Amino acid sequence: MASISTNERIEQSLKNSLLIRQGDRAGNRNLDSKDERTAALMKKTRPDLLESNFDTDLLKLLFEVQYWAKIQTFGLITFPLPLTRLLTKKDQLRVLRENVMLIVRDYNGIMQLINPKEKALFNDHLSGLDKFIAPGILRHNWESNADSFVMQCRSNCLENYKKINDFQTRHTKVMDQFEIISATILTKIKKGTLYVLSSFMSEQESELKQKQELFKDYFEVIRVQLFTIYQELFLTCKSKIQSEWLEFLKDLDKSLQKSLKNAVKNSLIDFQKHVHGDSQEIVPIFRVFTILEKEKSDPKVVNEPSHDTIKKTIATFIKQIIQVTSVVPRLEGIFRKDREEVVEKLKENELSG
């Protein structure tokens, strides 16, 4: 029933590594790239993902042998020795295949969760994970006792998944703060209200101070989230990762500056709307009194406050709006200061310990 070639094929299949990269699998297939189905398959292939390297022909043979084994109980056929041996290993192979698929699922889940920029940041972590995975590609085969390997791989995958997930959660919280800053209207102008100029400035200055304090609070949330990420994940990483982290902070600084500019822009647009109303018709916002000058020998009818005073006051008001954002420093500068403090404390602890 089984030829020598079948026996050799079984032995060769069991000597296959447990795992293989999708890129290596695609290379081994020698597929015709002109075929549409093949092209679609190659497009979906990601070289960094893993696959189980269990021979599909051997899997089919295992299923077939189980049915032949039922017929053998009636004494109608006699099993060749290679198939008998294969049949005795079916449960062992099934459990190992399931465990290998769990590693594939865990590892690929991480690779699909992380984006290219995050991958550069987590290069040290992922390199460590790949060292745990490597024996499954280079050493362990389907005849190996791989229980310890499976446990170590799954444990390391879970650990890295938690780290990446924590990073992404904290990063999302940071981006949420950016959104809040961007959507903030720095002023508080009551629609349809005629303001005395001095009262208007007094109210707005008070509002701007409140928004300044809010911006300080938002920035502190951002700072804490980012430095917590750094301390927990990247503090002891290599210089290349430190450079990647600084690039990451520079990108965040750009996003933060954009959010601050949007807050100023939206506040100025809001002020403009109160002046122009819903149409292009100018709506009065300041109470202007027409008075007769008393102190001059040739008294004239003038406006109080004057047009020039209102113009200068509005210019000052706009500068104050922009000045609110000055309480938010650049993330990179604050990070460098925080890092120096932590490194100094670590050095002190090492010396005292």
75: left (phi over 0), alpha (psi -120 to 50) or beta: left
pLDDT value for 304: 84
**Residue that wins the pLDDT comparison between 247 and 65:** 247
pLDDT value for 79: 64
Confidence band for 32, pLDDT divided at 50, 70 and 90: very low
pLDDT tens-place string over residues 113-140: 999 999 999 999 999 999 999 999 999 9
Confidence band for 42, pLDDT divided at 50, 70 and 90: very low
Query: Does 69 map to a domain?
Result: yes
* pLDDT > 90 fraction of the chain, expressed in percent and rounded: 62
Same domain for 150 and 252, yes or no, is no
pLDDT value for 286: 85
Same domain for 59 and 26, yes or no, is yes
CB 117 within 8 A of CB 39: no
Q: Domains in the chain: how many in total?
A: 2
Same domain for 198 and 320, yes or no, is yes
Query: Does 176 map to a domain?
Result: no
Confidence band for 83, pLDDT divided at 50, 70 and 90: confident
Same domain for 193 and 73, yes or no, is no
Query: Does 174 map to a domain?
Result: no
Mean pLDDT of the chain: 87
Side chain identity at 3, as an amino acid letter?
S
pLDDT value for 2: 47
pLDDT value for 30: 45
| Domain C-terminal end among 140, 167, 194 | 167
**Residue that wins the pLDDT comparison between 72 and 349:** 349
Same domain for 227 and 329, yes or no, is yes
Same domain for 149 and 204, yes or no, is no
187: left (phi over 0), alpha (psi -120 to 50) or beta: beta
Same domain for 250 and 131, yes or no, is no
Q: Which residues contact 338 (CB under 8 A, 6 or more apart)?
A: 223, 227
Strands 19-21 and 50-52: antiparallel
| pLDDT tops 60 at residue 58 | yes
Same domain for 16 and 114, yes or no, is yes
pLDDT tens-place string over residues 188-205: 998 878 899 999 999 999
Map residue 19 onto helix, strand or coil. strand
CA-CA distance, 218 to 182, in Å (whole number)?
11
Same domain for 139 and 211, yes or no, is no
Mean pLDDT computed over 61-73: 71
Query: Does 179 map to a domain?
Result: no
Same domain for 197 and 99, yes or no, is no
Same domain for 9 and 150, yes or no, is yes
Same domain for 20 and 161, yes or no, is yes
Query: Does 343 map to a domain?
Result: yes
State if pTM tops 0.85: no
Query: Does 173 map to a domain?
Result: no
Q: Which domain holds residue 221?
A: 184-352
